């Protein structure tokens, strides 16, 4: 398979980590915001590398990394829309990469990728290629979508953000029909990618807009749920024979799942397959480490290569809560996938690979009814 080499690199990362241990790595941050960010390293312990401020606006608790002095426009639009400003910035970047004259084959135009009909309704006669017109219009349009889906969110503000983004991607009708984020892979991915981008790139403190919230999709009929909904099994546990890898690395200590066709883009939500207690992180390889929660916890878990996550050490998750987003974080370039490890009952809270606690997750996931369809 074409992805073999990139997946195998995760084994190399793990071996290196086995030597140095699992530690919270503080990440040096360049630029003027570094003091503020270092004081917020709790956020890093929660799994997010604080953004390096590269240009544009840098407000106290507002949006960062918005280019061309458009920060105030984005803040005003976010206020109009009722969205976190980091989410609005991440969405605009996702739509056009801040290109005012961006176009799409479907006919969308401008920095917020308006379709002609939508622009006619929200553009107020302005120029769709002028961010001074298009960013405020984006705020008005998102406000309208938010109003449409608001009754479905009740008083859950985080859920309202998710539903508003889903309404943008799939239409408010689909959100109403499914009474939540529709179970379309593209929409699920869109919502998580923007929340992820907002946290990693546009939030000075790496704050997760909606970390740890319940995933909206189908949890399946098993005792556990598949950790990467919509993902496919791509690489098994144990012995393999990959040219170029040293002898010790021919032993894959987990399983890999990947969202089909995701490439190196952010993938789908990684969810708690069962009730969990978060016990630690491995920053270098993007791993969230957890124990099955309960009086007599059995299995330990690691969910790896996440680019960011919104959970904290000690936090308890209910089955189906979002841990983070399928990613490709690691020391080596690799395509986006989830590497999951399961540890024997009785293993320590945080396990180093190759200590002898790793077991093959496949029969466990199958027995618990959590194997992807």
Q: Is 223 a catalytic residue?
A: no
- Pick 141 or 257: Cβ nearer Zn ion: 257
In the set 3, 5, 60, 95, the catalytic residue is: 95
CB of 305 to Zn ion, least distance (A): 8
Look at residues 326, 354, 186, 329 and name the one whose alpha carbon lies nearest to residue 257: 326
Quickly list H helices, 71-125. 71-81, 85-96, 116-122
Look at residues 262, 270, 266 and name the one whose alpha carbon lies nearest to residue 287: 270
Nearest residue to Zn ion on Cβ basis: 339
- Pick 175 or 262: Cβ nearer Zn ion: 262
**Measured distance CA(38)–CA(34) in Å, rounded:** 6
CB of 312 to Zn ion, least distance (A): 25
Look at residues 305, 312, 309, 299 and name the one whose alpha carbon lies nearest to residue 364: 299
CB 223 within 8 A of CB 175: no
**Measured distance CA(344)–CA(251) in Å, rounded:** 17
Look at residues 288, 304, 272, 305 and name the one whose alpha carbon lies nearest to residue 349: 288
- Pick 40 or 283: Cβ nearer Zn ion: 283
CB of 262 to Zn ion, least distance (A): 15
CB of 65 to Zn ion, least distance (A): 31
CA torsion sign for 133, 135, 136, 138 is: positive
Q: Is 63 helix (H, G, I), strand (E, B) or coil?
A: strand
CB of 162 to Zn ion, least distance (A): 29
Residues that bind Zn ion (CB under 5 A): 10, 254, 256, 339
Neighbouring residues of 225: CB distance < 8 A, sequence distance ≥ 6: 219, 271, 272, 273, 274, 319, 320, 370
By annotation, the residues acting in catalysis are: 95
């Amino acid at each position: 398979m074409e992805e073999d080499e990139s997946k195998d690199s995760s084994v190399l990362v793990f071996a290196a980590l086995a030597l140095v241990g699992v530690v919270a790595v503080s990440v040096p941050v360049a630029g003027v915001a570094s003091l503020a960010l270092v004081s917020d390293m709790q956020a890093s312990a929660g799994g997010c590398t604080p953004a390096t401020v590269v240009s544009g606006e840098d407000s106290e608790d507002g949006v960062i990394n918005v280019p061309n002095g458009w920060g105030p426009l984005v803040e005003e639009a976010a206020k109009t829309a009722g969205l976190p400003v980091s989410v609005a910035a991440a969405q605009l970047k996702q739509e056009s990469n801040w290109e005012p004259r961006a176009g799409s084959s479907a006919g969308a135009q401008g920095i917020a990728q308006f379709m002609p009909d939508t622009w006619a309704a929200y553009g107020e006669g302005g120029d769709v290629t002028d961010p001074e017109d298009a960013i405020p219009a984006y705020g008005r349009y998102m406000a309208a979508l938010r109003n449409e889906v608001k009754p479905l969110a009740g008083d859950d503000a985080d859920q309202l953000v998710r539903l508003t983004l889903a309404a943008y991607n799939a239409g408010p009708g689909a959100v109403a029909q499914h009474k939540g984020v529709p179970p379309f892979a593209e929409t699920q991915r869109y919502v998580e990618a923007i929340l992820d981008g907002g946290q990693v790139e546009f939030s000075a403190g790496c704050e997760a807009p909606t970390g740890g919230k319940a995933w909206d999709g189908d949890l399946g009929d098993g005792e556990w749920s598949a950790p990467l909904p919509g993902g496919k099994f791509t690489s098994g546990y144990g012995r393999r024979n990959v040219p170029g890898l040293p002898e010790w690395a021919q032993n894959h200590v987990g399983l890999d799942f990947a969202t089909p066709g995701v490439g190196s883009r952010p993938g789908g939500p990684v969810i708690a397959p069962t009730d969990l207690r978060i016990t630690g992180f491995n920053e270098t390889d993007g791993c969230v480490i957890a124990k099955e929660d309960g009086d007599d916890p059995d299995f330990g878990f690691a969910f790896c290569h996440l680019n960011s996550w919104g959970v904290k050490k000690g936090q308890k998750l209910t089955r189906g809560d979002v841990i983070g987003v399928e990613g490709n974080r690691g020391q080596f370039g690799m395509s986006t996938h989830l590497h999951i490890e399961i540890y024997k009952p009785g293993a320590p809270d945080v396990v180093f690979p190759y200590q002898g606690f790793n077991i093959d997750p496949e029969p466990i996931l199958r027995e618990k009814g959590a194997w992807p369809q």
